[in-house]
A and B are shown apart, each in its own frame.
Chain A
């Protein structure tokens, strides 16, 4: 009983920011007043707020790019990671363990150690402020987790499946594409979700490697929207933040169990 009470009180405290976010994101931006933030406004201004953020602050153009980055990069990374894991575990790649260390070692570098050379290199290779450049870096960052998870997954698949398919004359590419990849769908799903959330929420690469309204990811757009000089009001910024958080909140709530498993494998 006491446990439940403590949890309820603490949970209520935790919900205060959520309440403030909702109330003020739904308030018409002309009605905003710092002294009245606690009381909901009878007028519904959410749609207008989002529309303003969408048009005036350039959230619209960047949503397409963000979707591209957060879907394409994890998808490519998962295939590349699965291919590497297949090579190491099933095809018995020579020095396979070191290949794995090489791939997984990619996760230990702090982003700060990568930014400057990437920025300089992208500028000279004409990848700066291009969608291709953003897809490339996000893919590379997502590969290690995919390799890690799929390596342990493929280790659990009976080797006789591979041998039998070889005897039947299937090429190694066909075995990968038609047998191993479909088998790994649950693992692939977990990695895809984690990578999607990571790329969707990412700010630092976007800030450093892109600039234009159509290329930069949405978190960067939100940042410039929230800076004082953008001339936007608090309800507009909050509405934009709310809209941009919805996909990850929904994915997260829908896949809590997958998340827990993914987290157990290494926080991303």
Chain B
């Protein structure tokens, strides 16, 4: 819509202002409206309106052909009684725990190790490369690595570790775990980038003081750097949290949520119910559950973090 509305509103804006030149400045009220509304209209029509309609649809049964039937909260009760829901929620939780811990911790490790040493940029490059990959590209590469008898099995076999015969993408819970590994491979770099920004902004004085007091290595990190990085860590973990709750691309490319439905996340469940099964009402309800969960978890996390910091100070 934004394109269509941009042209007509744009042109009257200029003459209107030209005619009023000198009168209503600084106000140019009509001009301001003309400049502000195309973007706002696009966002309202294509983001806000669909959002609200999904809320309405989640209380209906709708197959896309006949008109939507109001069913109250039936979709939600059905969701919580659905056996596939249990798997989906469990997988989503695994994603949340796995992806908020592992890539963030590894990203912090790489940032700490490479910060301030010569050639640090070059040593970081392997971790940065995967970040530019799309979710689909990531799925293609790791689908190949994790296929039965593929590279992952080869490596485990060569190292004499168990798992040389595991079909990683076919067995539960290995499919979810191995997809989290793939995700970690991609996301570590961006977390490193975040933590580097954080490390650069740490004031030098407390570090110098701690060094003079004889703190090095782990002690220096635990008692000086870690507390100073805490606000940033909150943000990084928060972002990872929100992203992981909405995981779709990589799962859809690697397993399509299968075999059966046993590697589905909530986002995949939503897509399948709406666009494969054609149940738009029920799909909307799953989208609602996903959104409410994301909102609630994020809020709870942020409140906890604020509380912890208040207790510390």
List A residues at the B interface (Cβ < 8 Å): 3-4, 6-8, 10-12, 14-18, 20-21, 24, 34-35, 37-38, 76-77, 79-81, 83-84, 86-88, 91-94, 96, 99, 102-103, 105-106, 109-121, 123, 132, 135-137, 139-141, 143-144, 147, 159, 162-163, 166, 169, 171-174, 176, 197, 200-201, 203-204, 207-208, 219, 222-223, 226, 234, 237-238, 240-241, 244-245, 248-249, 251-253, 256, 259-260, 263-264, 267
Enumerate chain B residues within 8 angstroms of A81, measured Cβ to Cβ: 39
Q: Are B133 and A171 in contact (CB under 8 A)?
A: no
Enumerate chain B residues within 8 angstroms of A267, measured Cβ to Cβ: 190, 239, 243
CB distance from B23 to the nearest CB of A (A): 11
Taken together as a complex, chains A and B put the C-alpha atoms of A143 and B54 apart, in Å, by 21
Contact with A along B29-73 (1 / 0, CB 8 A): 101111110111011111111110110010000001000000000
Q: Are B127 and A3 in contact (CB under 8 A)?
A: no
Taken together as a complex, chains A and B put the C-alpha atoms of A223 and B248 apart, in Å, by 13
Interface locus among B97-105, B110-118, B207-215: B110-118
Q: Are B136 and A222 in contact (CB under 8 A)?
A: yes
The 3 A-B pairs of least Cβ separation, nearest first, read: A201-B134, A173-B14, A87-B35
Q: Are A20 and B145 in contact (CB under 8 A)?
A: yes
Report B6-37 residues with CB < 8 Å from chain A CB.
Answer: 6, 10, 13-15, 17-18, 21-22, 25-29, 31-36
Count A-B contacts at CB 8 Å. Answer: 304
Known: A35-B149, A223-B252. 15 other contacts (CB 8 A): A15-B126, A16-B155, A83-B38, A91-B28, A92-B27, A92-B32, A110-B291, A116-B50, A119-B274, A121-B50, A139-B42, A173-B17, A201-B134, A204-B271, A219-B136
Report B187-214 residues with CB < 8 Å from chain A CB.
Answer: 188, 190, 193-194, 196-197
Per a CB cutoff under 8 Å, which of A79, A91, A110, A245 touches B32? A91
A120-B64, A264-B197 known; A252 vs B40 contact (CB < 8 Å)? no
Q: Are B2 and A80 in contact (CB under 8 A)?
A: yes
A83-B36, A113-B287, A114-B54 known; A119 vs B141 contact (CB < 8 Å)? no
Provide 10 A-B residue pairs closer than 8 Å at the C-beta atoms, listed in order of the A residue. Answer: A3-B113, A18-B126, A37-B154, A83-B36, A87-B34, A88-B36, A93-B35, A117-B53, A117-B57, A203-B135
Q: Are A248 and B133 in contact (CB under 8 A)?
A: yes
Enumerate chain B residues within 8 angstroms of A105, measured Cβ to Cβ: 48
Q: Are A94 and B29 in contact (CB under 8 A)?
A: yes
Per a CB cutoff under 8 Å, which of A24, A208, A259, A260 touches B275? A208
Enumerate chain A residues within 8 angstroms of B257, measured Cβ to Cβ: none
Indicate if B129 sits at the interface (CB-CB under 8 A). Answer: yes
Q: Are B38 and A113 in contact (CB under 8 A)?
A: no
Indicate if B221 sits at the interface (CB-CB under 8 A). Answer: no
Taken together as a complex, chains A and B put the C-alpha atoms of A79 and B3 apart, in Å, by 11
Q: Are B287 and A102 in contact (CB under 8 A)?
A: no
Q: Are B33 and A93 in contact (CB under 8 A)?
A: yes
Chain B contact residues, majority secondary structure: helix
List B residues at the A interface (Cβ < 8 Å): 1-3, 6, 10, 13-15, 17-18, 21-22, 25-29, 31-36, 38-40, 42-51, 53-54, 57, 64, 110, 113-114, 117, 119, 123-137, 139-145, 147, 149-151, 154-155, 185, 188, 190, 193-194, 196-197, 239, 243, 246, 248-249, 252-253, 267, 270-271, 274-275, 280, 283-284, 286-288, 290-291, 294
CB distance from A109 to the nearest CB of B (A): 5
Per a CB cutoff under 8 Å, which of A15, A171, A176, A238 touches B140? A238
Closest to B131 in A: A252
Q: Are B39 and A7 in contact (CB under 8 A)?
A: no
Q: Are B128 and A256 in contact (CB under 8 A)?
A: yes
Closest to A94 in B: B29
Taken together as a complex, chains A and B put the C-alpha atoms of A87 and B133 apart, in Å, by 36
Enumerate chain B residues within 8 angstroms of A139, measured Cβ to Cβ: 2-3, 42
Q: Are A201 and B136 in contact (CB under 8 A)?
A: yes
CB distance from B61 to the nearest CB of A (A): 13
Q: Are B47 and A141 in contact (CB under 8 A)?
A: yes
Q: Are B283 and A6 in contact (CB under 8 A)?
A: no
Q: Are B57 and A204 in contact (CB under 8 A)?
A: no
Enumerate chain B residues within 8 angstroms of A259, measured Cβ to Cβ: 193
Q: Most chain-B CB neighbours within 10 Å: which of A6, A87, A112, A203?
A: A112
Taken together as a complex, chains A and B put the C-alpha atoms of A159 and B25 apart, in Å, by 12
Closest to B143 in A: A226
A14-B127, A80-B2, A208-B275 known; A176 vs B35 contact (CB < 8 Å)? yes
Per a CB cutoff under 8 Å, which of A14, A141, A241 touches B130? A14
Enumerate chain B residues within 8 angstroms of A123, measured Cβ to Cβ: 64
Taken together as a complex, chains A and B put the C-alpha atoms of A216 and B113 apart, in Å, by 43
A14-B126, A110-B246, A252-B132 known; A263 vs B42 contact (CB < 8 Å)? no
Enumerate chain B residues within 8 angstroms of A200, measured Cβ to Cβ: 134
Q: Are B39 and A83 in contact (CB under 8 A)?
A: yes
Enumerate chain B residues within 8 angstroms of A34, measured Cβ to Cβ: 147, 149-150
Taken together as a complex, chains A and B put the C-alpha atoms of A132 and B286 apart, in Å, by 29
Per a CB cutoff under 8 Å, which of B1, B14, B140 touches A222? B140
Q: Are A11 and B127 in contact (CB under 8 A)?
A: yes
Enumerate chain A residues within 8 angstroms of B36, measured Cβ to Cβ: 83-84, 87-88, 93, 96, 99
